[in-house]
């Protein structure tokens, strides 16, 4: 239960709390955005059965995104971003059997976040962006620059 509580506190509660604390400042901003790193909502049992706690924590973030997007519609853009492929992070490093060479570097998510946050806040809210699709729309065509090992087959990310 300690691990479950921690995941819930960091993910869904953390998303809600950080958003609430930032909103007074965002409402005074010229281009206010909240961008959560959360997957598109998905009720497919294949994600829920093997790791219910983790899935609930991540989907909680997605539901907070949907709720805040509706609550602050027209005043603050509230969207989410999720990677197309597994990203080489310290957390992934802790999962046995995941080859980092089959992952992308975190830069792809950062570049996609910049592209989302630079658009006018009135352009979109309540959307669940995928990093590669965002960058393709922005004109990026060479994704090998993001690969840990260019040319290697990439692992698709969780929840996609």
**Strand, helix or coil for residue 107:** helix
Residue 25 known to be catalytic = no
Catalytic option among 25, 54, 129, 146: 54
Q: CA angle, 98 as apex, 154 and 86 as ends, to 5°?
A: 40
Per DSSP, the three-state class of 35 is: strand
DSSP 8-class letter at 9 = I
CA distance 52 to 48: 5
**Residues ≥6 apart with Cβ < 8 Å to 2:** none
> Which candidate, 81, 134, 83, places its Cα nearest to that of 104?
83
Of 27, 15, 117, 131, the residue nearest 63 (C-alpha): 15
What is the rounded distance in angstroms from the CA atom of residue 38 to the CA atom of residue 40?
7
Question: Residues with catalytic annotation?
Answer: 54
């Amino acid at each position: 239960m300690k691990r479950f509580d921690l995941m819930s506190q960091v993910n869904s509660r953390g998303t809600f709390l950080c958003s609430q604390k930032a909103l007074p400042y965002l409402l005074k901003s010229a281009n206010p955005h909240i961008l959560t790193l959360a997957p598109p909502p998905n009720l497919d049992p294949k994600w829920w059965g093997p790791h219910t706690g983790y899935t609930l924590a991540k989907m909680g973030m997605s539901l907070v995104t949907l709720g805040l997007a509706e609550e602050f519609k027209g005043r603050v853009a509230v969207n989410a971003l999720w990677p197309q492929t597994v990203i080489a992070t310290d957390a992934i490093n802790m999962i046995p059997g995941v080859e980092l060479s089959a992952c992308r570097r975190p830069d792809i998510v950062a570049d996609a976040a910049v592209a989302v946050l630079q658009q006018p806040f009135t352009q979109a809210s309540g959307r669940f962006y995928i990093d590669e699709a965002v960058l393709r729309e922005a004109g990026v065509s060479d994704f090998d620059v993001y690969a840990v090992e260019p040319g290697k087959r990439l692992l698709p990310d969780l929840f996609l």
